[in-house]
Amino acid sequence: SQVQSKCEDRSLVIQVESMEVPQFEAIDENGSQILKEPLAARCGYTIISNKMATSTTLRASFFSCYTHNQNDVKFTFRFNVRLRTSKGIWETQSISTLCFGPKWAHREVVCEEDYMEATVSDLDSTGLMLYVLFLIQVQSSTKATWQLMFLQGDGHKTFMSIQEAESLGYIVTSSAHRVVLRTDQRSPHAKVMMVHGVPVEVIQVSVVFRRLQMVVLLDLTMRVCWFSDSGEFNGAWLLWDVPWVMLPLVDESAVFESQYVGIRVDGEFLDQNNATSKGLRLVHSGDLVLIAVPFRAEGGYRKSWVVNNTYKEEFGISLLYEHDFSLTYDGSRRINIKHRLLRVLATPPLCHPPFKTLDNDVAFHILLGNIPSDVVLEEVWINKKQVMSGHNSNTIVLVFQYLGGGVVQYSAHLKFTLTIIPQRESYYHHTFVSSRVTNTFPPQIMAQCLHQGICFTIVQASPSLSLWEVGVDHEPLTFELVAQRGYKLHNDSHRMTLEVPIYSIGYRYDDINLFNFYGTFELLLRDSRTLQVQASTSKRCLFKTEDMTVCSSDGTITVITGTKSTRPTVQLKKLHLLDPDCRPKQLDESRALFEFRVNTCGTRPMVGESYVVYENEVIHDRQLITDGPNLISRDSQFNINLQTFSDCFLSG
């Protein structure tokens, strides 16, 4: 077994991992006391044996009976945890933990699974002196001077001595700064109220202290859990609705102001944003706070069963709802209230097979679903051959065999053994898979030249399309690649049409002159399993030359530029690159063609983090005439900056 303890907000939590239910003993200066019902609940202890997690949890309130309280700041817990061994011998592990108290609100109300607890401290200026006097009198007098006042539904008030209240399950104690009232959830004075459509149980009670002519009354009204303990499950979400304003904790004469709302899951506090990031929902909607937990959410518990070789699963999660708010009276007197409500949400037992067979792809996928940690995949047999033993698995893929002639086939007898621990219940899953798919020839790719690009048509029957992968260079043809490179892709069940505009990434260019050039684009057909190229389709088309800059994979840059927009007309023979010796390779009346390598003609490289930019310029030599101290020219000024990236060379 494993015993762990930790301080969580306003309670100590002890977790015992064991199939055996442990026994807890609380220890104080007077000795030890075994905690069992109804004493445990009345003294502020909750003991939960979690059937889904094979563990037992003890939660002890900071104001529980046997806790050493130092000025409501330090709380010392001492316990003996006893477990019976397989030989029937009790073994004991001692725990001593010091927890530090939080910043207490004026009134705090908590609804635990087995009890309700309310504590109050008058911290405002009008009631402080009365409360201090009350504590002095309480701590120096007998409980005979205390009374509880219960408010019934018809407005009738019932007074009861502390001794009478204790006989009915109420516990009233005081600490350095607070008065504590606790009772279990079977209180005879509880009444049912509908609060915004949600049924709740309420106990309206105050502690009354009488001393001579002075009467001190402290409101300890409690609001408790409603009847349904497992929440609502809609097939995908566990749902829990909590009233936003919880009557009668909120007086009609007071101004209500919410401070914050959240839930605690496994000791972690989550507000609305944090809950959303973990897949949970916490939404304030009108008069309600809507809480939704997805099936199998993180922090929950899962449990598996096997009944007549039928697999069943249950999911549950423990939530602590917290709402801090303030009430303002007469515009000045303000008190803070913390309301906490613990609830375990759980699904009913769900029957579903943990395996699912998919045979509409190039492989049979036998999916072992998202199963609890108490389930182990122990054995897998395929065609009477054991292929796995002793460890978990998520997916087993049985690949089809390509038989040639457009036919693929695979068949197998499968047997899986799942074991649910620790009770060692086994679940056996048998299945036979077989499939033969015809007409699975490689896709047929046709291409034609367009005015501004090349169009490819890929024709193939849909059952075999996933056997093959269409790609451009090293990249598969995906919608992401199409969007990134500016292609146009149209797809239906039997045909894909790909339009590749000229100058897109993937083209190769050759025979470039001032009038036209050739652009070539190639599609590759690969085996989707081995990624080996099986075939390719290449199309070479003739396009009209325009002003352009082309980067070739061998490091050659070709530039065609026009000068029609300049006045007076530029003399093309006077154009050159940064290196004056690099002149046009071809000229006509209005355009010039330059061709040079990236390491020539004065080209300047600029290195980035993952690329290189090559820069050059097309410059016009101007004839300058001296006019006194000035230089004048009748030639037009002409200069073009050229930049190319190294990834142009990689893609062609």
Q: Are strands 237-243 and 288-294 parallel, antiparallel or unpaired?
A: antiparallel
Q: Is the separation of the CB atoms in 118 and 341 below 8 Å?
A: no
107-111 and 333-346 strand pairing: parallel
List pLDDT tens digits, range 489-525: 998 777 889 999 998 989 999 999 999 999 999 999 8
**Side-chain-facing half-sphere of 373: CA atoms under 13 Å:** 7
The rounded distance, in Å, linking the Cα atoms of 464 and 286 is 54
| Residues composing the chain | 652
CA 496 to chain CA centroid, nearest Å: 36
Residues 147 and 78 in one domain: no
Per-residue pLDDT tens for 208-259?
766 555 555 656 555 444 444 446 888 889 999 988 988 777 877 788 999 9
Residue type, 526: R
- Tell me if residue 144 falls in helix, strand or coil: helix
d(CA 440, CA 423): 49
347 and 257 within one domain: yes
Please tell me whether residues 255 and 196 are part of one structural domain.
Answer: no
Looking at the structure, do residues 123 and 205 belong to the same domain, yes or no? yes
For residues 223 and 234, membership in a common domain is answered with no
Q: How many domains does the chain have?
A: 6
pLDDT band at 122 (very low <50, low <70, confident <90, very high): low
Cα pseudo-dihedral 242, 247, 249, 251, rounded to 10: 140
Q: Which tokens belong to 128?
A: 């402080």
For residues 476 and 512, state if they share a domain: yes
Give CA torsion, residues 59, 61, 67, 69, to 10 deg: 150
Residues 282 and 383 grouped into a single domain: no
Query: Do 63 and 176 reside in the same domain of the chain?
Result: no
Tell me the residue type at 576: H
**Residue linked to tokens 């003993």:** 25
Domain boundary among 205, 227, 249: 227
Residue 649 vs residue 88, higher pLDDT: 88
Q: What is the 8-class DSSP label of residue 574?
A: G
Token code pair at residue 433: 């898979």
Domain with 590, as residue range(s), is: 549-651
- Residue 638 predicted with pLDDT over 80: no
pLDDT for 220: 58
Q: What is the pLDDT of residue 169?
A: 85
Among residues 289, 323, 352, which one ends one of the domains?
A: 352
User: Is the confidence at residue 81, as pLDDT, over 50?
Assistant: yes
Residues 502, 512 contacting (CB under 8 angstroms): no
Distances in whole angstroms, Cα of residue 604 to Cα of each of 186, 309, 550, 596, 609 = 87, 75, 17, 13, 17
Same domain, 346 and 233: yes
With helix as H, strand as E and coil as C, how does 117-128 read?
EEEECCCCCCCH
| Domain stops at, among 102, 118, 153 | 102
pLDDT > 90: percent of the chain: 30
One domain, residues 247 and 344: yes
Q: What is the mean pLDDT of residues 180-206?
A: 80
Asked if 599 and 629 sit in the same domain, the reply is yes
**556 and 641, same domain (yes or no):** yes
The 3-state DSSP class for residue 139 equals helix
Report the CATH number at residue 380.
Answer: 2.60.40
Region of poorest pLDDT, from 36-40, 223-227, 433-437, 529-533:
223-227
610 has pLDDT over 50? yes
pLDDT digits (tens, 9 = 90+) for 252-309: 778 899 999 999 998 788 998 889 988 999 999 999 999 999 988 888 888 877 777 7
Contacts of 582 (CB under 8 A, 6+ apart): 576, 594, 596, 600, 601, 602
